Amino acid sequence: MSGKITNPEIVGFLKELAESAGGALSPAAVVEAARPNNSPIHDQFVWDDTEAAKRYRLQQASELLRVTVELIEVKSETYEVRAFTSLSPDRAKDGQSYRATVAVLTNRQMRAQMLADAMAELDAFQKKYATLSELSEVFAAIRKARKK
């Protein structure tokens, strides 16, 4: 699945499912509700176990690349950083690829792309949590960083 799902039938089905579960909806409950062929969310899942296993292993590999960290030293300070980074152009291709973070940080163009990606993620964060007035100082800091 990729992109947003706005189908009112799917949205309504999931909201009803959440309500019937007391408000908190688990992924396991969603899968179970999707099993019947006539479920409005049945087609959102891969039911061929071989294909599903292949996709799951790809997700596991992505997770491995996202959680692998290394220690780097900058001006006698040691930082723990993700060993690999995925830049948005690398995600636009078929699948997703990752680059060594140190290589990205030391390459002018890739570093600029990483910064642009970070700013886009901050914008998404701000949109997601715009209703929380408690984060107004964070949002102000984002706006300030954007101006730089």
pLDDT digits (tens, 9 = 90+) for 90-99: 987 777 899 9
**147 vs 117: CA distance, rounded Å:** 15
Query: Cα–Cα distance between 90 and 104 in angstroms, integer?
Result: 12
**What average pLDDT score do residues 69-77 get?**
91
- How confident is the model at residue 89, as a pLDDT? 93
Q: Domain extents for the chain?
A: 1-45, 48-103, 107-148
Mean pLDDT of 84-89: 94
pLDDT of residue 62: 92
Q: What tens digit of pLDDT does each residue of 118-141 get?
A: 999 999 999 999 999 999 999 999
Average pLDDT rounded to a whole number, residues 64-91:
93
Helices (H), 68-107: 88-92, 101-105
Residue 36: half-sphere exposure toward Cβ, Cα within 13 Å? 5
